[in-house]
Amino acid sequence: MSRQHITFKDKVELISNRMHEILSEESIRLNQVDLVDDQISTIGKRYRPTLLLVTGESTGLDLAEVIDAAVGIELVHDSSLIFDDIIDGEYTRREKPSLHRSYGTGLAIGIGLTLSAIGIRLLLSYEKKEIKELVSQMLVDLSEGATLENKYDTEIGIDDYLIMSTLKSGSLFGIATSIAAALANKSSYETDRFLDLGRLIGLSYQLMDDIVDKRFDKIRLNYQSKSKIPNTIPIHSELSYLLESNYSNSGSNDTSLILRDMLRRALQRISELENELISEKHLYAFRSFTDYVFKKVI
């Protein structure tokens, strides 16, 4: 695998083939090859691992250097979807029966834990200290985001919505960009900026998804900000930037308009970070990927 750019479809195939190799080796011992293969084939659009490959290309890495990290991210993501379906009582996943519906909750939890463990092991196989720290933070963010999501049944404040979406959706996109930066020996500052870029891409993806799915027809978004975002929350300054408009005094109670305005501002910030971090030589390829992902949501 060289540094020459390959298409999105080729990247997805590369990720899927490597994932199959790894899971086949692991699953043979557990006598569940068919079960795992069936599950993996039905979930995930491979956006997060593909983002890692795209970022790797843009920072001069060979795909061979980052493919296992990409698979690790996807396995953690697939695991989170299994647990989401159990928590939400979802009976389908991409028009097929969800894992817990087909095989029972106990086995579904076991498969979810297995996928997550294999994914984390792949990510931690890289010896860089920065990557181990990034993985640890990602796992904390992902868990806290899932907990926060299940805290609200009928209403969520706009502050908590941004925090939840950044933790849950932004964490896996963020580790995709930041791991590539760390492997490319970027400085700590640059790696953090790549992390911010990925998290904002994940947040924007979630905003689009919620706008399209009309999520807030079911759960009310309280657009009156009740508190400042804590300094301990990832990309605190970026989230605060999205809340600069005083929505409580806007006179509008249209949630979709507020989300769309936040999305517009987030996409503008993504563009600014892309200009800052990605060389002109690779900028078109990087933006082509993010445009592709967002258009798929819309």
Q: Looking at per-residue confidence, does 274 or 86 come out higher?
A: 274
The domain total for the chain is 2
**Cβ neighbours of residue 101 closer than 8 Å, sequence gap 6 or more:** 91, 92
For residue 150, CA distances in Å to 129, 146, 164, 215 come to 32, 6, 10, 14
Residues 259 and 187 in one domain: yes
What are the E-state strand segments in the chain?
92-93, 96-97, 155-157, 220-222
For residue 136, CA distances in Å to 101, 132, 239, 285 come to 31, 6, 22, 30
Give the separation between CA 174 and CA 298, rounded to whole angstroms. 21
- Of 161, 172, 5, residue with least CA distance to 80: 172
Residues 143 and 278 in one domain: yes
Quick one: pLDDT at residue 138? 95
- 118-163 pLDDT, tens digit per residue, is 999 999 999 899 999 999 999 999 999 988 888 877 788 888 899 9
Q: What angle do CA 53, 272, 267 make, to 5 degrees?
A: 80
Residues 68 and 27 in one domain: yes
Which long-range contacts does 80-86 make (Cβ < 8 Å, 24+ apart)? 80/116, 80/142, 80/146, 80/172, 81/43, 81/44, 82/39, 82/43, 82/108, 82/109, 82/111, 82/112, 82/115, 83/109, 83/112, 83/146, 84/146, 86/112
Domain limits at 87?
1-125
> Beta-carbon neighbour count of residue 286 at 10 Å?
20
State the amino acid at position 136 in one-letter form. S
Q: What is the arithmetic mean of pLDDT over 25-32? A: 61
- Of 22, 24, 46, 21, residue with least CA distance to 34: 24
Quick one: pLDDT at residue 214? 72
pTM, to two decimals? 0.91
pLDDT-derived band at 69 (thresholds 50, 70, 90) equals very high
Residues 33 and 57 in one domain: yes
Residues 150 and 269 in one domain: yes
Residues 119 and 143 in one domain: no
pLDDT at 211 over 70: yes
Residues 167 and 280 in one domain: yes
Q: What is the CATH number of the domain that holds 247?
A: 1.10.600.10
Out of 125, 155, 184, a domain closes at: 125
pLDDT at 100 over 80: yes
- Of 247, 251, 169, 269, residue with least CA distance to 215: 169
Average pLDDT, the chain: 85
H or E segment at 180?
helix 170-183
Q: Tell me 38's DSSP state.
A: H
pLDDT at 249 over 60: no
In this structure, what are the phi and psi dihedrals at residue 157, rounded to the nearest 5 degrees?
-70, 155
DSSP readout, 86-132? HHHT--EETTEE-HHHHH-HHHHHHHHHHHHHHHHHHHHTS--HHHH
Residues 167 and 81 in one domain: no
**Cβ neighbours of residue 229 closer than 8 Å, sequence gap 6 or more:** 159, 162, 163, 236, 239, 240, 243
What are the E-state strand segments in 121-231?
155-157, 220-222
For residue 251, CA distances in Å to 129, 178, 216 come to 49, 39, 18
Number of alpha helices (DSSP H) and beta strands (DSSP E) in the chain: 13, 4
Give the separation between CA 157 and CA 163, rounded to whole angstroms. 10
Out of 106, 125, 144, a domain closes at: 125
Which tokens hold the place of 80?
């989170």
Residues 69 and 136 in one domain: no
Residues 117 and 141 in one domain: no
Out of 104, 125, 146, a domain closes at: 125
Residues 203 and 259 in one domain: yes
Residue found under tokens 């706009």: 158
Residues 87 and 9 in one domain: yes
